[in-house]
Amino acid sequence: MQNKITALGWCTVGTPIHEHVFRASVAEYVPDEVTRYVKYNQPTFGAGYNELVKSMIAEGHKTFAICNDDIVLGPDTWANLQNDWELLMASELPEQRAAGVLACRHDYVRMGPQNIRFDYGRVNLQSVSYPEERQIVNVAGIAPILAVYSAEAWIDFPEINWFSDDVQCYDIRQAGHTIWVSRAYCHHIGSMTMGHNYQDEETKAVEWLKNNRPDFYERLAQHRNAQ
């Protein structure tokens, strides 16, 4: 499995005022030899990124990253992400060698180890961060706000906006790959790539799952009933 991340791709709604800041951070902190891919005006999150990754894989990229257009990379984001991927690939532990996805930590993401506010059961911060933030953490799923994939592990998103990443992570794990959260941090503005019509997007996604992925629809219903 290739260790170098050789491509970075993102989708956008086409006219985001924040994209120039994102592009500036990519230009500054992502090595020039990393091929850039961009797709505008995608019909859905899933459809847009599937098409993007199809191009990456067709052009020979074995390890690549995808991201949202409403993020800002820091000086060490890409370097830490690359280093953590290399550590996983060089590991003697089977679960680490089975890594198919490695995602950055963020300030705007579902609560869990991927969110820098996740407290790991503690009451107080350890200085300004938690010790676990300096570890690569095995998780059930991630939001691919900035995430590395191996071409071997890639499975297409369902062509919906909401829950597309949940379904993909579930399918990737079912296929025998593991999913990890990196030590790398990347600022995420949040909810800009797909807009703010939350209720409509959720309704459409739930209906799609009910009709096309009843297995996952049942899991979602059980999770909601347990809350």
Number of structural domains the chain divides into: 1
What pLDDT was estimated at residue 132?
Answer: 85
Inside any domain, residue 226: no
Q: How much is the pTM?
A: 0.92
Task: Convert the pLDDT of each residue in 175-216 to its tens digit.
Answer: 999 999 999 999 998 765 555 567 888 888 899 999 999 988
Inside any domain, residue 13: yes
Q: Which residues pair with 227 in a beta bridge?
A: none
Q: Which residues pair with 129 in a beta bridge?
A: 126
Inside any domain, residue 227: no
Can you tell me the distance from the alpha carbon of 7 to that of 149, in angstroms, rounded to the nearest whole number? Answer: 10
Phi-psi region of 119 (alpha: psi -120 to 50; beta: other; left: phi over 0): alpha
What pLDDT was estimated at residue 15?
Answer: 52
What pLDDT was estimated at residue 221?
Answer: 78
DSSP 2-26: --S--EEEEEE-S--TTHHHHHHHH
What pLDDT was estimated at residue 164?
Answer: 92
Q: What is the mean pLDDT of each run of 10 residues along the chain (227 residues)?
A: 89 69 95 95 85 97 95 97 98 97 96 91 73 92 97 95 92 98 94 65 90 89 71
What pLDDT was estimated at residue 13?
Answer: 64
Inside any domain, residue 70: yes
Q: Which domain holds residue 115?
A: 7-195
Inside any domain, residue 214: no
The phi, psi pair for 74, rounded to 5°, reads -95, 175
| Crossing angle of helices 198-212 and 214-226, rounded to 10° | 130
